[in-house]
Structure 1
Amino acid sequence: MAPKILVVLTSFGYIEAAKMPTGWYLPELAHPYDVFTEAGVEIVTASPKGGVAPLDPVSVEKFKEDASAQAFLRDKKAVWEKTQPLSSFKGRADEFEALFYPGGQGPMFDLVDDADSIALIEEFSAKKKPVAAVCHGPIVLVNAKRSDGKPLLAGKEATGFSNVEEDFAGTTKVMPFSLEDRIKAVGGNYRKADQPLAEFVVVQDEGRLITGQNPASAKGVGEAILKAISA
C-alpha cells in the first residue's frame, strides 16, 4: 500500500477589506505534489469547509511560465476542487505518514485559529509524524501546543514568509498580523534566507518539523518531507 500524506488547504478565498481574492498559492502545492507522486506517495487533500479550496489567481499569473505549476493547474483540478472536510480527519493520523500545509494568504485568515487544524497538528506531532508548512503556511503552527502545554514552536527554529517579503509583495497592510512576529511571539527562533524570496528550508527534530520560507522553498519542503518519511 502506498504511503499517504495529508495536505491541508485553506478555505478562505477573499479579503473583504482589501476587495482582493486570495487562497492557496499554486507552486506551493504543485511542486511538492510532483516530488510526492514521483516517489509513489499518495496525496489526500482536506480543507476546513471541504469541496473547492480557492486558488489564488495571482499565483496562477505569476507562475504562468512555470511548467510544473501549469501542468498541475491543467491536469490536477480534482486535487483542490474535491477536498474533504478537515474535521473528518481527526483521530486518523495513523493513516498518514505526514501532514503538510501549503501557503498562500488564506491560512492567515482561517487555518491559524481553526480548532480542527490545531488538533490535527497536535495529533501528528504527538505521534512523532512530520508536520510541514511553507510560505504563509507556517502560521498554522503558532497556536498548536506540545503535550507539556508549551507552544509547538517554542525553542524551535522555524521560517515562513518574512516581514520584508510581505512588504516587497505590497501585502503587509492587508494581512491580519505578521507571520514572522507571531512565530517569534510563541518562542520560535525565526530564521530567513539572506535574500528575500530565496529558497530557505528549516528542518527540526529529525524531520518532524519542517518549514519553508516562500514559494521558492516549496520543492525543498516536499523533498524534506519525503526524506523524513523514508528514513
Structure 2
Amino acid sequence: MKKILMILTSHEDMENTDSKTGVWLGEFTDPYYEFIDAGYEVTLASPKGGRPPVDPMSTVTENITAANRRFQDDTVAQQKFNNTLRLEDVRTGEFDALFYPGGHGPIWDLAGSTISAEIILDYLGAGKPVAAVCHGPAAFIKVAELRPGFLQGKKITGFTNTEEVLAFRSDNVPYKLETKLKELGASFHSAVVPFTSHIERDGLLITGQNPLSAGPTAKALIGFLERGA
C-alpha cells in the first residue's frame, strides 16, 4: 500500500487585519479522498501538531466541496485532522510521496520551516515525488534557501498575483507567492482565466494553481506513483 504524507500549515493570522487564515479546507479534503479512494494510506503532519487552523472562508457555502461534506461525516478523517503529528515526530522515510495543501498559512510557517525543507530535499533525493497546491508551493522557498538555485528554471504554478488581488488578500500577506517564486528563478505558469484548474509537472515536482486544482493535483500524483515515473 502506498503511503502519502500530507503536511499542513499551523499558521492562522493574516497581516494588518483581524481576519484569520490556515488550511483551505477543500485543498485538504479533495486530495485526501482522492488518495483514500485510490487505496492509499494518508498521514497528516504540521509544524505545531494537533488541529491545524482552517481558513473560515473555505467553509462558507460557495466554497464547500463534496469532499468537505464527506469530511463532516468521517470521524476517522476528523480524528486524523484534529491530531496531526508534529513534523519533527514524523518518520518521514516510510512514505512514498509528499503533498502540501494550501490556504494562506504556508506563506508564513512552511515557507520558513527548515524541517519541511529538509524533508522535501530528502524525498527528491530519494526519487520520491513532492506535490503542492495553491499556497503550498511556498514550502519551496526555504528549500531554495538551503539549496540555492533549486527553483531555477523549474516549471511550477501556484496562487497567482491576480488571484491574490481578486481574493482581497493582497494587503494582508507579507509577499505575493507568484512574485517570490519568480524571484527565485522559477518558470511560473498559470491558467489564462483566474480560479480555473491548472497543473504543472517538472520532474518530481507537481504543483497546482488554486483550490480547483487540488483534486487534479492529487490525481496527477497518484498517476505518477502508479506509473512509477
TM over 0.5: yes
Distance in 1 between residues matched to 2:61 and 2:134, nearest whole Å = 15
Structure 1: gaps spanning 5 or more residues? none
The code of the aligned residue for 1:157 comes to K
Q: Map 1:1-231 to 2 at 5 A.
A: 2-15=1-14, 17-63=16-62, 65-75=64-74, 76-89=77-90, 92-145=91-144, 149-205=147-203, 208-231=204-227
Distance in 2 between residues matched to 1:146 and 1:114, nearest whole Å = 11
The code of the aligned residue for 1:77 comes to Q
C-alpha change, 1:62 and 1:161, in structure 2 (3 Å) is: farther
Structure 2: gaps spanning 5 or more residues? none
Distance in 2 between residues matched to 1:5 and 1:134, nearest whole Å = 15
C-alpha change, 1:16 and 1:65, in structure 2 (3 Å) is: closer
Distance in 1 between residues matched to 2:35 and 2:95, nearest whole Å = 13
Offset at 1:204? 1.2
The code of the aligned residue for 2:58 comes to S
TM-score scaled by length of structure 2: 0.93
The code of the aligned residue for 1:83 comes to T
Q: Determine if contact 1:158/1:202 at 8 Å carries over to the other structure.
A: yes
Matched pairs, number: 225
C-alpha change, 1:131 and 1:64, in structure 2 (3 Å) is: closer
Cα deviations by residue, 1:127-180 (Å, 9 ceiling, x for unpaired): 111011000111111221499x43322111000000000000000000110100
Distance in 2 between residues matched to 1:152 and 1:62, nearest whole Å = 39
TM-score scaled by length of structure 1: 0.92
C-alpha change, 1:64 and 1:157, in structure 2 (3 Å) is: closer
User: What is the alpha-carbon root mean square deviation over aligned residues?
Assistant: 1.7
Q: Percent identity?
A: 38
The code of the aligned residue for 1:182 comes to K
The code of the aligned residue for 1:81 comes to N
Distance in 2 between residues matched to 1:182 and 1:62, nearest whole Å = 31
